[in-house]
Structure 1
Amino acid sequence: MVESPLTHVLLRASSISSTPPSPDSPWMLTPQHPSPSPTLLYHCVTSLHRQEGNILSIAALKGIVFTGTQSSRIRVWRPPECIERGHLKTTSGNVRGILAYGNLLFTAHKDCKVRIWSMSFADNFRAKKISTLPRRRSFLSSIIPRGNNHYDQHRDCISCLAYYNAEDLVYTASWDKTVKTWRVCDQRCVDSFVAHEDVINAIVVSQEDGCLFTSSSDGAVKIWRRVYGENSHSLTMTLKFQPSPVNALALSSNMTSCYLYSGSSDGIINFWEKEKGSGRFNHGGFLRGHRFSVLCLVALEGVLISGSEDTTIRVWKREEGGGFHTCLAVLDGHRGPVRCMAACLETEKNVMGFLVYSASLDGTLKVWRVKVFPGEKSGNKEIGDNDDNVDIVTMSSDSHNGKALMEYEMISPVLSPSWVEKKRQG
């Protein structure tokens, strides 16, 4: 491959060492591994190894990264070097959900409650807890029985969060199979409903119309809408194509199209396209490449990023004008399941770039700089696609059912011995 000026700049930048964290940080730097690919340039900017509980959740906003672990501390980092800027101390750990929007941060904890933090992004980052959901009940209200359970907290771990900014609503989903709707302005629960037959693993909301999507270990993806003029929600569609648990959801929408992605335990990513007229979601196909469960998904500007139990992260690009997807690269620096991810855009002229934050059960937090640049195409393959580390997904016609099939190559994941032993025992 002929090395372009952009390639040379990125490779040279990847050799620059990261600034070490603060002395009291629980993280240790590990070596970087630059890995350019033909259709996409990427390298690991920073890799940190933890000395406390596994990272269970990540959120990124305004140049700040938040990580939640099994401990009661929520770490605050400045990317891309991940210099620690402090932490938020709470009374409960096992932070499985973090959501950041505007100047608010929402964190879900082991005690089945959600903390709301007000943030300041000045020279010195500051955060102050302003409320807890549900609010603490007074002694009088605690002894008066209430038939409506909307105001009760979840009965089991809160697994995920979503925020609908138009109505200032926070959605919480739990292992107790329920979804609750919280109005942030007065910290009240305005709706609660049983959404699935098994634990809920993921929830997303469309900022365009408030449509709510949930996925569960029962193998279903469900679409909910708020009843007009009320706070209650009604089920409008159930998407179910396999019995495998659905672990992750991602929504990619713009002025012309809307795609819903779901990642399941069989390693498959299904996607649906929204009809412009009816608003229905039609199954568009599936993406195959991961060997084990898909645990997390992030969608940005026509690019889908998937993290898997097979230790790899795959970057997929959706071609314009249809549901054709190409796997541009496989990021294979982790040695354990990729538990959670976050990403943010880095704009450059004629080049789409973003930072990807990934946390694995191998105990590492990695920051990847990814740049997707336009290139000429020959048929269904990008010119220059001759790197063994890049999976090219091509489409072929299936005369039996008329659907497009995906042909792909898979790399062999490198799992840590400790995780292999856990997998055998589990």
Structure 2
Amino acid sequence: MSEPDPQLSPSRPSSASMIQLSPLHTSPPSSLLYCCITALHHDEGNILSLAVLRGIAFTGSESRRIRIWWPPEFVKRGYLKVKSGDVRALLAYGNKLFTTHKDCKSWSSFSLFSRTSLHQHKDCISCLAYYQAEGLLYKGSWDRTVKAWRVSDKKCVDSFVAHEDNVNGIVVNQEDGCVFTCSSDGSVKIWRRVYGESSHTLTMFLKFQPSPVNALALSWSTSSCFLYSGSSDGFINLWEKEIGSGRFNHGGFLQGHRFGILCLVTVEMLVFSGSEDTTIRVWRREKGSCFHAYLAVLDGHTRPVRFLAACLEMEKVVMGLLVYSVSLDQTFRVWRVKVFPGEMKVTVEEDQRINQKSKIDLMEYEISPVLSPSWVERKLQGNPLH
């Protein structure tokens, strides 16, 4: 049961943040309009987690309250009380809300999920994913392991060491049940359940960057599947699933952020990336290829963007979305984004110009640290970001 929340007050966006036409870098140009419809300051410390269900947003923090933000203007709000603070991860799926906490326990609809210490993680549970067909909840942890729980009887059906360092992100392909994990060890791995068993086996090892991989996102349909990974060097790598073999081939990378990528989310052909450089960038993939056009920067946060979520508002001639962002500036923002149709065919001359610009940009990156400065500082202090 949610209760009214008297503590938070919305700060309305200034006129400067209202709808504006974004600068575009495609030829011919396509249009994207966006505005920040609300920016709310959180009075209980950093927001540690974010989930969205049917347009309703949930945020977890160091307190024992999970905030609820109601559309359309997200001024009406409430909270849910939990028995433990430091809500490190949230997952909303179907009619369930899963939470994890600093005490390394998980909760399902606010009933204790981990009842014994036998299958309990030894460090922070950093990420969650749910496979609907089998009713399996996957939990990734800083103890380097992934555990699969069957929600129906709250039983741990598998536990395996997934990486050599913190597990930072996990996603599941709802079409075939493949599990994707990423880690501070710089790798992305693909796991599949052994036929007729509950155990998981490693099927692919993807490593294209020396720096930590912080976030994953999957974009799939009946005809294509793309995997995106965001790392601390500021690059977004992408892989395309090969029809027939099921292998994921590296399709290049997206560059534009100056510091580490902390979060990713995909909707249809769009990719949203949140960074330590305080910005959110919007990309659109051309149908039938790995080419991505950079559409816009959503600029408004003053500290690193830690979490992103997005959902469709309308899907007609103009695609309308709500984008939710959480930053270490202790604010929760909601953006209304409208994407207008536009052809994205690239001429030979334009392709050469883009490649040349990429080489120049890459030279600029090569004189910068491979790892973002704040990540290096946290690593030296033994205090990873969350």
TM-score normalised by structure 2 residue count: 0.86
In structure 2, the residue matched to 1:364 is: 331
Cα deviation for residue 136 of structure 1 reads 4.8
The counterpart of 2:21, out of the listed 12, 33, 37, is 37
The match for 1:66 among 47, 58, 68 is 58
Give 1:132's aligned residue: 112
Question: Secondary structure in 1 aligned to 2:20?
Answer: coil
**Aligned 8 A contact 1:25 1:84 in 2:** no
In structure 2, relative to structure 1, the CA distance for the partners of 1:80 and 1:421 (3 Å cut) is farther
Task: Structure 1: give runs of 5+ residues left out of the alignment.
Answer: 1-20, 118-128, 138-150, 382-393, 411-419
Number of corresponding residues: 356
The 2-side partners of 1:30 and 1:374 are apart by 30
CA 1:322/1:24 → structure 2, altered by over 3 Å: closer, same or farther?
same
Deviations 1:344-398 (A, max 9, x none): 10114311111000011111111000011112557469xxxxxxxxxxxx64499
Post-superposition offset of 1:421 = 11
Between stretches 78-87 and 330-339, larger displacement belongs to: 78-87
Equivalent residues of 1:288, 1:408 under 8 A apart: no
Offset, 1:424: 9.8
Answering whether residue 294 of structure 2 is matched by residue 342 of structure 1, we say no
Q: Confirm or deny: 8 A CA contact 2:148 2:158 kept in the other structure.
A: yes
Task: State the 4+ residue runs in structure 1 displaced beyond 3 angstroms.
Answer: 376-381, 394-398, 403-410, 420-426
How many Å separate the matches in 2 of 1:335 and 1:261?
25
The answer to whether residue 6 in structure 2 is matched with residue 24 in structure 1 is yes
The amino acid of 1:24's aligned partner reads P
Counterpart residue number, 2:279: 312
Q: Kindly provide the CA deviation profile for residues 267-307 of structure 1, in whole angstroms up to 9, marking residues without a partner as x.
A: 00000000011000000000000000000000110100000
Residue 23 of structure 1 deviates from its aligned partner by 6.3
Aligned to 1:373: 340
CA shift in 2, pair 1:397/1:23, >3 Å: closer
Aligned to 2:87, what secondary structure does the other structure show? coil
2:137 maps to: 170
Cα distance, 1:55 vs structure 2: 1.1
Deviation track 1:22-80 (CA, whole Å, cap 9, x = no partner) reads 66133441434114225201010101111112111111112311111121111111024
Pick from 240, 249, 252: which aligns with 1:273?
Answer: 240
Which residue of 2 is the match for residue 152 of structure 1?
Answer: 119
CA gap 1:103/1:423 in 2 versus in 1, 3 angstroms: closer
The AA in structure 2 aligned to 1:99 is: L
**Given that residues 46 and 80 in structure 1 are in contact (C-alpha distance below 8 angstroms), is that contact kept between their aligned partners in structure 2?**
no
Instruction: Tell me whether 1:352 sits opposite 2:332 in the alignment.
Output: no
Aligned to 2:164: 197
Corresponding position of 1:148: none
**Structure 1 length normalisation: TM-score?**
0.79
SS at match of 1:329: strand
Structure 2 residue runs without a partner (length 5+) = 23-30, 363-371, 379-386
Where 2:257 maps in the other structure, the secondary structure is coil
Closer/same/farther in 2, CA of residues 232 and 61 from structure 1, 3 Å limit: same
**Preserved CA contact (<8 Å) 1:395 1:405:** no
Amino acid at match of 1:78: W
Give the superposition deviation at 1:405: 8.1
> Deviation per CA, 1:306-326, whole angstroms, max 9, x where unpaired?
000000000100001100001
Asked whether the equivalents of residues 311 and 334 of structure 1 are also in contact (C-alpha less than 8 Å), the reply is yes
Computing the radius of gyration over CA atoms, which structure comes out larger, 1 or 2? 1
Spell out the pairing of 1:11-410 with structure 2 (5 A cutoff).
24-32=6-14, 33-37=17-21, 39-117=31-109, 129=110, 131-136=111-116, 151-376=118-343, 379=346, 395-396=351-352, 406=358
Q: Name the CA shift for 1:313/1:184 in 2 (closer, same or farther; >3 Å).
A: same
SS at match of 2:21: coil
Seq. identity, %: 62
Check 1:54–1:255 CA distance in 2 against 1; reply closer, same or farther (3 A cut): same
Kindly report the root-mean-square deviation, in angstroms, between the aligned alpha carbons of the 2 structures. 2.6
Rounded to whole Å, the distance in 2 between the matches of 1:395 and 1:268 is 20
Helix, strand or coil at the partner of 1:79: coil
Render the CA deviation track for 1:63-114: whole Å, top value 9, x for unaligned: 3111111211111110242234421111212212111111111011111111
The 3 A distance-change label for structure 1 pair 56 and 27 is: farther
